[in-house]
């Protein structure tokens, strides 16, 4: 059964890859940059729906952020791949937020989100990837937040080394169990999803990278999100330096 599914995955992935040839060409000649201008608008709509469906889990996940506030101090949060700022509503009042994202076209949506969350202090928006946050000093933040991002970075271990360098919690959607149809369609549709999701790779076993990143404490749970079946498998949790 496993061998048949593996063969079917390879065949249908090849078919989808062939159907994606126009997108491969568009990317090769540099026209994919046009989609990056549109993607923030698409993500804002998706994120609003995602927040509604994941509200209770997000509240539970981010509740622990207050534990990292030092007596008499202000919590400094750095969010990798901040997107349109849809996590801001879950952050503790009074904290300072540093945002990073490789797509500069998120900025106007980000500024709107900051105005809607005046309980936070916006420090700065840094246009950079998770693998290279050199402009952020060592051990300069109390918490690092990373949601729906490790599926898009090019180098997960390097991103986690950067997280470890500057400091603390994390969360993600991941590949499904290999015996399920979700796993089958995640692999078959991955070539097309890569472009639609602006580099997202839904077939990654992200938890394995987290387990090998050298955190002193790691708490992860596999859960199912109330989303379309290929996006249902998630991990939620936190990592402490």
The pLDDT tens digits of the residues spanning 116-154 come to 999 999 999 999 999 999 999 998 998 999 998 999 999
**Triad 45, 152, 79: Cα angle to 5°:** 70
Whether the CB-CB separation of 184 and 238 falls below 8 Å is answered with: no
What share of the chain has pLDDT > 70, as a percent?
Answer: 96
**What is the mean predicted confidence (pLDDT) over 173-189?**
82
Please, which pLDDT band fits residue 1 given cuts at 50, 70 and 90? low
**What is the mean predicted confidence (pLDDT) over 36-65?**
92
Q: Left (φ > 0), alpha (ψ -120 to 50) or beta: where does 30 sit? A: left
Q: Answer yes or no: is pLDDT of 170 > 60.
A: no
The pLDDT of residue 64:
85
**What is the mean predicted confidence (pLDDT) over 103-109?**
94
């Amino acid at each position: 059964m496993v061998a048949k599914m593996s063969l079917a995955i390879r065949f249908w992935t090849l078919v989808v890859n062939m159907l994606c040839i126009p997108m491969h060409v568009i990317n090769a000649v540099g026209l994919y940059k046009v989609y990056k201008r549109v993607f923030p608008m698409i993500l804002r709509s998706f994120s609003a729906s995602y927040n509604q469906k994941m509200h209770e889990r997000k509240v539970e996940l981010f509740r622990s952020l207050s534990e990292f506030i030092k007596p008499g101090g202000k919590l400094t949060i750095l969010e990798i791949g901040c997107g349109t700022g849809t996590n801001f509503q879950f952050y503790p009042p009074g904290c300072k937020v540093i945002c990073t994202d490789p797509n500069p076209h998120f900025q106007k949506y980000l500024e709107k989100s900051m105005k809607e969350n005046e309980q936070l202090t916006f420090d700065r928006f840094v246009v950079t990837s998770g693998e290279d946050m050199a402009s952020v000093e060592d051990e300069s933040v109390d918490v690092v937040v990373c949601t729906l991002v490790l599926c898009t970075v090019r180098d997960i271990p390097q991103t986690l080394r950067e997280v470890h360098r500057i400091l603390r919690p994390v969360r993600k959607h991941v590949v499904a169990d290999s015996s399920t149809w979700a796993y089958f369609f995640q692999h078959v549709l991955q070539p097309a999803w890569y472009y639609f999701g602006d580099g997202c790779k839904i077939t990654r076993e992200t938890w394995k990278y987290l387990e090998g990143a050298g955190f002193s404490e790691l708490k992860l749970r596999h859960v199912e999100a109330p989303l379309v079946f290929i996006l249902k498998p998630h991990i939620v949790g936190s990592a402490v330096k």
